[in-house]
Amino acid sequence: MREPVLVIMAAGMGSRFGGLKQIAPVDDQNQIIIDFSLYDAWKAGFRKVVFIIKKEIEADFREVIGDRMEKYFEVKYVFQEVDKVPEGYAVPEGRTKPWGTGHAIACARDAVDGPFAVLNADDYYGTAAMQTIFDFLKEERAANEHAMVGYNLINTVTESGYVSRGVCEVKDGYLQSVTERTHIEKRGEHAAYTEDGDNYLHLDGQTIVSMNLWGFQREILDQFVDRFPAFLDENLPKNPLKCEYFLPTVANAQLQEGLGTIRVLPTNDVWYGVTYAEDLQSVVDAVADMKAKKVYPEKLWMEPSAAYHFQLEGAPFSMERYGFGHINATYLLVTTTGRRYILQRISDAFDVEGLMANIAAVTKFTAERATDPRGAMTMVYTLDGKPYYTDETGHYRVYDFVEDSICLQAAETPEDFYESAVAFGAFQQLLNDFPAETLSEPIPNFHNTVDRYRIFHEALEKDVMGRAKDVQDEIAFVLAREEEAGTLQRMRESGELPLRVTHNDTKLNNVMLDAETRKALCVIDLDTVMPGLAAYDFGDSIRFGASTAAEDEKDLSKVKINLDLFRIYTRGFLSACKLTDREIETLHYGAKTMTLECGVRFLTDYLQGDHYFRIHRPEHNLDRCRTQFKLVAEMEQCWDEMAKIVKEEAGR
């Protein structure tokens, strides 16, 4: 794979301004021209950058730009020093002037490991120009096929004074020669140049000029090195202190000696730079204008920088916190093409490796089988093909944004509850043939009710808080149902019930509904996806969705099971997935088992001193366990009715 490298000649950067830190920002985000070039480069596809600088500016350079860029690019530094001359040559006494752009490239030979683009740090080249050169380099080509971006002269001159440009002779799209004109002045739509300061010659405004944006194959690097001694032999005697080995000298040599070709890639982009102090305002205006036209975001480089390490369509354009999730930090990420993504910093509570392997496998499977593109979550991989990206701030993942959807915090109508049942049923159905046993358990034994009882017995025995004596009724309630509570677990172990992929967090805010029809699209938030039983997801939904009271209601007379909602959920769930007869017959066990198990966990936590569930009042966990047990008792009251409803809705 060809990975083009961006080589930025920055040895003289900021010298016009009295130092790097004195470079005037071109917007109110404190951004300087090189930020825009780097952004365009990132957007075009460059992921590797080599900065050619002088050792003496290294600290400032890193501070002003380099360190920041390490979050987005693989960054290398090359030092261009006056004393880097070939063996057998001496630096002339009194020489301080750098040896020129050709020397800069020669210095970078060992740092550049692919086809490369070259540009000046102080110049603005434009979005299209950067894309053009990247696309050229990305293509497989012969070692002697090079390119240069050709600007229209009129787009590169300043109102404030004269500029120096490489005037190109172009034939059939290929460069024939470049002539450096060091003094070009704007004249209306055209320009004029002078060699002696007195006589001016006309230059057409449409003349193609070089702004030193080149695209080279890697092989040319040797020539930059090898041709330097001959240049020194010829020029040192004539002009030891000022002679410069220019990049176009090497480019011209390719053409004159028939060694290679240089394609001219035309661009209509406008150059900006601050050759004169008066130029600054025009750059500031241009940047403001381009931002208004949405060519650039307000802030080019946003946090979390992890966003820049995924296979996005376009470049990040905006990023903000999104949604009401409590577990992960969620961001809405919009790119330059308008594509929207969800970026999430994954909670540290999870084992990220196993968790993301689960999600990668499940999303791949469901996306391949969903008939509607919004019918399953689509994961976006990192640039190196991994399901998540890690930096010093955490682990991150990206999903396609489910467009034209809504996500409710809770069911607002019975129809919403029905649609959530459809969504979780459809999720189950899409994963019908998925080998559930290959998934890991982010929370081991999550719905292993037998194991939950084991932990309860331990807590009861230790009774570290001395609370057991005050909750004898609740303890008796739990113990009386121990045998029955293990039914599903035993059926799972015996294989009587098939192992399935379960979601385990079946709240409504993990369901996407169509914004217009309010019908189920897909389920999200797959952090707790695990092997399990269909009855788990079904049962947990009933536990909180078909109860008439909040989970921590103190007035237990309010806690009832709403059989209409039970029927609605059953209908939605079964309409979307095909289960085995045995699964259907035991579905209502799921409702009771999940409710009982949840109550056991609240009671266990209460006995242990409230370490697991966050409490907001002293007996919060006790209140919670009581609502669950009341609900279990309610279900027992209408147990036959529940079984009948399931049967009816299954069409049995």
Nearer to ligand ADP, 49 or 376 (CB): 376
Instruction: Determine the Cα–Cα distance for residues 206 and 422; give it in Å rounded to an integer.
Output: 63
CA nearest neighbour of 294 among 43, 577, 595, 649? 43
To the nearest whole angstrom, how small is the minimum distance from the Cβ of residue 510 to Mg ion? 5
Tell me the one-letter amino acid at 391.
D
CB distance 440 to 354 below 8 Å = yes
Q: Which stretch binds Mg ion (CB under 5 A): 158-166, 334-342, 367-375, 505-513?
A: 505-513
Nearer to ligand ADP, 373 or 609 (CB): 373
| Residue 326, binding choice from ligand ADP, Mg ion, none, Cβ under 5 to 8 Å by partner class | ligand ADP
| Residue 328, binding choice from Mg ion, ligand ADP, none, Cβ under 5 to 8 Å by partner class | ligand ADP
436 binds ligand ADP (CB under 6 A): no
Answer for which of 39, 61, 399, 606 binds ligand ADP (CB under 6 A) is 399
510 binds Mg ion (CB under 5 A): yes
To the nearest whole angstrom, how small is the minimum distance from the Cβ of residue 325 to ligand ADP? 2
Residue 636 to residues 475, 525, 639, Cα–Cα distance (Å): 18, 32, 5
* Cβ neighbourhood burial of 116 (10 Å; 0-12, 13-18, 19+): buried
CB atoms near residue 615 (< 10 Å): 18
What's the angle, vertex CA 449, arms to CA 445 and CA 455, rounded to 5? 75
To the nearest whole angstrom, how small is the minimum distance from the Cβ of residue 414 to ligand ADP? 21
The DSSP line for 556-605 is GGG--B-HHHHHHHHHHHHHH----HHHHHTHHHHHHHHHHHHHHHHHHH
State the residue number with the nearest CB to Mg ion: 525
Segment 309 to 328, residues that bind ligand ADP, using CB under 6 A: 322-323, 325-328
Instruction: Determine the Cα–Cα distance for residues 514 and 525; give it in Å rounded to an integer.
Output: 17
Does residue 237 have a cis bond before it (omega within 30 degrees)?
no
Answer for which of 53, 342, 488, 559 binds ligand ADP (CB under 6 A) is 342
To the nearest whole angstrom, how small is the minimum distance from the Cβ of residue 394 to ligand ADP? 14
Beta strands 340-345 and 530-532 are unpaired
210 binds Mg ion (CB under 5 A): no
Q: Which stretch binds Mg ion (CB under 5 A): 233-241, 275-283, 324-332, 606-614?
A: 324-332
Nearer to Mg ion, 154 or 355 (CB): 355
CA nearest neighbour of 320 among 297, 309, 308, 304? 304
To the nearest whole angstrom, how small is the minimum distance from the Cβ of residue 521 to ligand ADP? 9
Instruction: Determine the Cα–Cα distance for residues 26 and 279; give it in Å rounded to an integer.
Output: 11
Contacts of 342 (CB under 8 A, 6+ apart): 322, 330, 331, 332, 333, 398, 399, 400, 401
Nearer to Mg ion, 92 or 325 (CB): 325
Residue 125 to residues 35, 206, 295, Cα–Cα distance (Å): 12, 17, 13
Q: Among positive and negative, which fits the CA dihedral 95, 97, 102, 104?
A: positive
Nearer to Mg ion, 488 or 524 (CB): 524
Q: Which stretch binds ligand ADP (CB under 6 A): 222-230, 395-403, 584-592, 639-647?
A: 395-403
Polymer length in residues for the chain: 652
To the nearest whole angstrom, how small is the minimum distance from the Cβ of residue 410 to ligand ADP? 12
Tell me the one-letter amino acid at 116.
F
Q: Helix (H, G, I), strand (E, B), or coil: what is residue 20?
A: helix
> What string marks each residue from 524 to 563 as x (binds Mg ion by CB under 5 A) or -?
-x--------------------------------------
Structure tokens belonging to residue 98: 């750098």
Question: Tokens 């102090």 correspond to what residue?
Answer: 277
CB distance 58 to 77 below 8 Å = yes
37 binds Mg ion (CB under 5 A): no
* Cβ neighbourhood burial of 553 (10 Å; 0-12, 13-18, 19+): middle
To the nearest whole angstrom, how small is the minimum distance from the Cβ of residue 531 to ligand ADP? 20
To the nearest whole angstrom, how small is the minimum distance from the Cβ of residue 522 to ligand ADP? 8
To the nearest whole angstrom, how small is the minimum distance from the Cβ of residue 400 to Mg ion? 16
Segment 278 to 297, residues that bind ligand ADP, using CB under 6 A: none
| Residue 390, binding choice from ligand ADP, Mg ion, none, Cβ under 5 to 8 Å by partner class | none
Instruction: Determine the Cα–Cα distance for residues 613 and 454; give it in Å rounded to an integer.
Output: 19
To the nearest whole angstrom, how small is the minimum distance from the Cβ of residue 614 to Mg ion? 17
To the nearest whole angstrom, how small is the minimum distance from the Cβ of residue 334 to Mg ion? 21
| Residue 144, binding choice from ligand ADP, Mg ion, none, Cβ under 5 to 8 Å by partner class | none
Nearer to ligand ADP, 377 or 603 (CB): 377
- Continuous segment of H or E residues that includes residue 220: helix 220-226
Answer for which of 40, 419, 525, 583 binds ligand ADP (CB under 6 A) is 525
State the residue number with the nearest CB to ligand ADP: 325
Answer for which of 407, 411, 497, 632 binds ligand ADP (CB under 6 A) is 407
Answer for which of 179, 318, 509, 562 binds ligand ADP (CB under 6 A) is 509
The DSSP line for 411-475 is -SSHHHHHHHHHHHHHHHHHTTTS-GGGS--SSTTTT-HHHHHHHHHHHHHH-TTS-GGGGHHHH
To the nearest whole angstrom, how small is the minimum distance from the Cβ of residue 401 to ligand ADP? 4
Instruction: Determine the Cα–Cα distance for residues 588 and 438; give it in Å rounded to an integer.
Output: 27
443 binds ligand ADP (CB under 6 A): no
331 binds ligand ADP (CB under 6 A): no
> What string marks each residue from 357 to 386 as x (binds ligand ADP by CB under 6 A) or -?
--------------------x---------
Nearer to ligand ADP, 367 or 455 (CB): 367
506 binds Mg ion (CB under 5 A): no
Tell me the number of residues near ligand ADP by CB under 6 A. 18
To the nearest whole angstrom, how small is the minimum distance from the Cβ of residue 415 to ligand ADP? 19
| Residue 628, binding choice from ligand ADP, Mg ion, none, Cβ under 5 to 8 Å by partner class | none
- Continuous segment of H or E residues that includes residue 531: strand 530-532
| Residue 203, binding choice from ligand ADP, Mg ion, none, Cβ under 5 to 8 Å by partner class | none
Footprint of Mg ion on this chain (CB under 5 A)? 325, 510, 525
Footprint of ligand ADP on this chain (CB under 6 A)? 322-323, 325-328, 330, 342, 377, 399, 401-402, 407, 509-510, 524-525, 527
